[in-house]
Structure 1
Amino acid sequence: MAPAITLAAEAPKLSAANTGFMLICSALVLIMTPGLAFFYGGMVRVKSTLNMLMMSFISMGIITILWVLYGFSLAFGTDKGSFIGWTSDWVGLSNVGLTELWPGYTIPVFVFMVFQLMFAIITPALISGALADRVKFTAWSLFITLWATVVYFPVAHWVWGTGGWAFDLGVIDFAGGTAVHINAGAAALGVILVIGKRVGFKKDPMRPHSLPLVMLGSGLLWFGWFGFNAGSWLGNDDGVGALMFVNTQVATAAAMLAWLIYEKIRHGAFTTLGAASGAVAGLVAITPSGGAVSPLGAIAVGAIAGVVCAMAVGLKYRFGYDDSLDVVGVHLVGGVIGSLLIGFFASGKGQSTVEGLFYGGGLTQFWKQCAGVFAVLGYSLVVSAILAFVIDRTMGMRVTEDEEIAGIDQAEHAETAYDFSGAGGGIVGGSVSALAGTQSKKVDA
């Protein structure tokens, strides 16, 4: 009888299809940052529009350079003590082969790197919504440089890096409930507790100046989020990416409807701002959970997030913290809800065999989720507050009161978002002639 032959498992080969898919997903995630800029830009008063846009756009510049220089290595390099990574060959990306594959997958390291870069870009940009109207642009630029280095890069390693403590513990975060949304939301809370309220908070009207811009921004976010979520399975052909795509749509729809129903009952109207905010709340909540729950579970996650986040945005008036554009109420609270509900709604038929309480799995996964959620929340809150305090005491975080009242766009960027001088023609050129002719006719009459 011939001896049995053991065949070695075939090593993964580069897949052109998966590579192309992931590059498209990377572009979709990138477009979320301009989408966020429009979403936030429409929600502020007209005198702060450009500053809000720039606070997102500058992240695309600063974080890209940091990621190439050392951020990718810190987040996804060889584990060092379960807290941080480091691979010297990835510093500056000069020693990465063009066809070198990401371990265990069929896409190049460069593709994985650029996909994760887009996550690193949008996360600090999310924080900016809480700081509208009052932060120096230079101080903001320095803050996100330091914050990405000491908060985002380590937390990304905890959650997604091989050897990261949360990863090894079994905390489920498909695409960024902890690393992105809780991280950014907690950071926002830490900073605003240090820098204080806007001039006129709870006294002056601070309504959105352009709800069409808000709706455009939320639409771009919804569109790009399919790359954010479905792409996070890195092109594996086992159906989980498709499940995540479906659940992203389902949960977002449920959250938007739930938010609108809540505000109709609570405030008597269905608002466009409520629709946009509800959609974002659903996107946030399904981000960590969408690979672990069924579509029916996604409806539940979205509906719960829509109602709870709608309630949470009012907490700033009760407790007196000035979260300008509800980053805490939507991103922090939505991220916590989406992450913790995995412990109840995980079906065992998606990204893993883990089952939540409602599927007979007990509370084991819930407690793991709690560990990940509150560790990230506490770390980001404390370190972000310390960074803001140090910057505020050295170079100052805020513009002057006079500059804030006059408008941060003019003070920080020497520009205004809209030029109304020519609106309707103005009394210039031909308009002067027309006015003169009209006066002449009145005299003749």
Structure 2
Amino acid sequence: MSWMDEIPEAARTYLEVNRLDEVECVIADLPGIARGKAVPAGKWDKQNYFHLPNSIFFQTITGDWGEAAGPEGFLEPDMILKPDYSTATAAPWANDGTLQVIHDAYDQKGRPVPFAPRNVLKRVVDLYAKQGWTPIVAPEMEFYLVGRNIDPAKPIAPMMGRTGRPAAGRQAYSMSAVDDYGPVIDDIYEFAEIQGFEIDGIAQEGGAGQLEINLRHGDPVKLADEVFYFKRLIREAALRHDCFATFMAKPIEGEPGSAMHVHHSVTDTDGRNVFTGPQNGETDAFFHFIGGLQEHLPSAMALMAPYVNSYRRYVPGEAAPVNLEWGRDNRTTGIRIPISSPAARRVENRLPGMDCNPYLCIAASLACGYLGMMNEIRPDKRWRGEASDSEAEVAESLWTALDQFDEATELHKVLGTDFARVYSIVKRAEYTEFLQVISPWEREHLLLNV
């Protein structure tokens, strides 16, 4: 069977009107950056895999390296990267016909590379499958459209709207605000349609130039692939209109941060939602999943808030929750139960930032729920009223979050102990790099005063 028979319909439709010139063979590294190779179409037809060194997973966001190679030393052995043809999708911004294909990483003995983020998520999904469960997720993506910032020393500013004024903040759900950057949104819709992605809706969020895209619920790996693709898609759409799209957790001082809320449900072998009982009531599994989130989310925060900037979002009294309370239709709680029919009953984790790697964030969130269901963890009493009155339970810095992650041996067993080792080493190396940078605040307030 030709590989053309295995790719999605949207990719085949794209190739009917675009002669294939190049295939981008991509894989997500720890930050979620696309790594890989661009292969001419003629060569792509003749190969079933390609190689990259395993050191791409030891790289920090700055391009430096964590000493995470293990006892064998930093030899950079080649991995075997095999295409998942079901992920083939167009790159509609390219000048010539181009497909993107996500690959999975294996070592030279054919074993999944344990610290490849997509493999981490697959590992967690497989643990659910062994219990006869199928996890379902729905991510919500928040991001900013900002002015072109080519000087890192200058603050980030909102993009210029069609009115000639910078995009305004505090205009949540405003349709006129969405219209202000309509051309970018039009390209986002167009690119998504060509790539075969379904958008559940786009709305203006509370920040200046901040938008939210909701994706349809489905398979965790498929949805993580879509978030991975969407980040690139949105960036490319923004560049067409002389602005940047940023997924930083807190890009603009004084504006709300950007989250990636994750909705979860779980079905059994018959496709029934295990959170709902025969009489449409809430089951023990539903409460155990919540209990698992409350118990283990503090240890997983380093994956859901992976950078020093991530923790600028968690300010008591602001939009992002800093608690682990659960409530019904209550956006001040870290764990929210949305209004839904019994068949669609789900649990929303409102803690993750949009700067996360989607594979690792979804894997960590599902891992917490899985441990709750396996260990039958009961949640605290439902929170009523504003949860801002609750005690802050989220780490205040990446370093603290990494300390909590390092101690979470039960979580490591679900995600993979070798992954946990590599992740901690790389993130600590990244934090050390950050400490070498002197900020404008330090120059302003310490230079002449201390």
Q: TM-score range by the shorter chain?
A: under 0.3
* Higher radius of gyration, 1 or 2: 1
Higher relative contact order (CA 8 A, sep 6+): 1
Taking structure 2 as the reference length, the TM-score comes to 0.28
Taking structure 1 as the reference length, the TM-score comes to 0.28
Greater helix proportion: 1
Greater strand proportion: 2
